[in-house]
Amino acid sequence: MGGGATRLYSTLTQTLSSSPLPLPPPHLGPHPPVDTNLDPSFCQEQKQTDPAELLRQCEEALRDSPPRFHRKFTHLNDGDSAPSSPIRVMQWNILAQALGEGLDSFVQCPLEALSWSHRKYLILEELLTYRPHILCLQEVDHYYDTFQPVLADLGYSSIFCPKPWSPCLDVEGNNGPDGCALFFDQSRFEFLDSVNIRLSAMRIPTNQVAVVAILRCRSTGRCLCVAVTHLKARSGWEWLRSAQGSDLLRHLQNLLEKHTDRATGAPTSDIPLLICGDFNATPTEEVYRRFSASPLSLDSAYKKLSQGGLTEPEYTTWKIRTTGECCTTLDYIWYSQDTLRVDAVLDMPTEEQIGPNRLPSFSYPSDHLSLVCDFSFKEKE
């Protein structure tokens, strides 16, 4: 195993501090501060690691666990030749460690399966298996000590925005606040601009956030606007989710207009949007309808798995809590249908694969399933 992979593997296997971390300041650039709890030799090492080598090490660490879900891509080329360099995007609520062990009450999941010493390998295995160019995560409470340094050594730059009042901070032995994180492959994309947003409802700031970045594709020279968000959870807050969604759409429109003046001079409609998130909303909710009807001409990529491309999957989350079983669709990858094409969509695991105790489990580290799509730019007319 190469030196870089050895350092990464060592970082993953080390026992993480159980003392709470202070609330990190909002970070608006692609290079967050280094966590001083890490080995300095690891943090200063610039040599990139072989992802396949690190994946093998994760699989070795999980050798006594049940095998991961085997999921297949559905390709949607409609007879056209496959794109030469698709953009792979992953959306995933990875389940905050403090919430999984503390507040979320997954009654059918063994405590050992919820331990960070187990889950961190499963999470990284999922990321390394699909190796997205753009990675959008929610409920990230191990950003500074794990995900930022590990993924930086794999060639990713990143932006993190913690929740102002993260529920993780109420859990004894927490690792700091959870939040949204956006990672992108620096060999594929150039960073142009970003903003961290505290979402508002009727001009009142809420506890939910979003990260938005403007990137330029190095192979095509075309710009892309990417957003990651996590809207308010639970029944009874539908009106708040709708207001938060409207606020996010307004911010996106403003950022696109600002950017077109500075870069290519192209119309706002020529900069494609990708909006990834755990919306905590089923397709029947108003916030879903707002995104579907937005003048930004958005569509939901995972509808492509359905007959005729009209309906969402049956579920993106499946869990059992003390309040009962929940099997529903809450997670989405929205895209600009006029400027982006969906080339492939990763299918959902079956009920048999998920198992009777549902999620999370020894096989899967989160109560939400990852969404993975391949996109390409449509040719300009």
* Beta strand spans in 82-203 (E): 87-93, 134-140, 156-162, 179-185, 189-201
DSSP category for residue 357:
T
d(CA 101, CA 98): 5
Mean per-residue pLDDT of the chain: 87
What's the alpha-carbon Rg for the chain, to the nearest Å?
Answer: 20
pLDDT of residue 44: 41
Which of these, 251, 243, 249, 235, lies nearest to 286 by C-alpha position? 243
**Across 30-41, average pLDDT:** 40
d(CA 69, CA 318): 14
Helix (H) / strand (E) containing 127: helix 116-130
Ranges of each domain in the chain? 87-377
pLDDT of residue 319: 97
pLDDT more than 90, % of the chain: 78
DSSP string, 212-236: EEEEEETTT--EEEEEEEEPPPSTT
pLDDT confidence bin for 379, thresholds 50/70/90? confident
Lowest mean pLDDT among 102-111, 137-146, 269-278, 320-329: 102-111
Question: What is 87-377's CATH number, 3.60.10.10, 3.30.2350.10, 3.20.20.70, 1.10.150.120?
Answer: 3.60.10.10
Number of neighbouring beta carbons within 10 Å of residue 52: 10
pLDDT of residue 265: 56
Rounded to 5 degrees, φ, ψ at 163 are: -70, 145
pLDDT of residue 23: 33
Q: Which residues pair with 345 in a beta bridge?
A: 74, 373
- Burial status of residue 352 (CB atoms within 10 A of its CB: 0-12, 13-18, 19 or more): exposed
d(CA 219, CA 271): 16
Rounded to 5 degrees, φ, ψ at 112 are: -65, -35
Q: Taking every pair of C-alpha atoms in the chain, what is the biggest distance, in angstroms?
A: 57
pLDDT confidence bin for 260, thresholds 50/70/90? confident
Report CA-CA distances (Å) from 258 to 216, 225, 264. 15, 12, 11
Rounded to 5 degrees, φ, ψ at 135 are: -125, 120
pLDDT of residue 102: 81
Number of neighbouring beta carbons within 10 Å of residue 216: 15
d(CA 123, CA 115): 12
Contact residues for 316 (Cβ-Cβ < 8 A; gap 6+): 302, 328, 329, 330, 331, 348, 368, 369, 371
pTM for this model (two decimals): 0.88
Q: Which residues pair with 289 in a beta bridge?
A: none
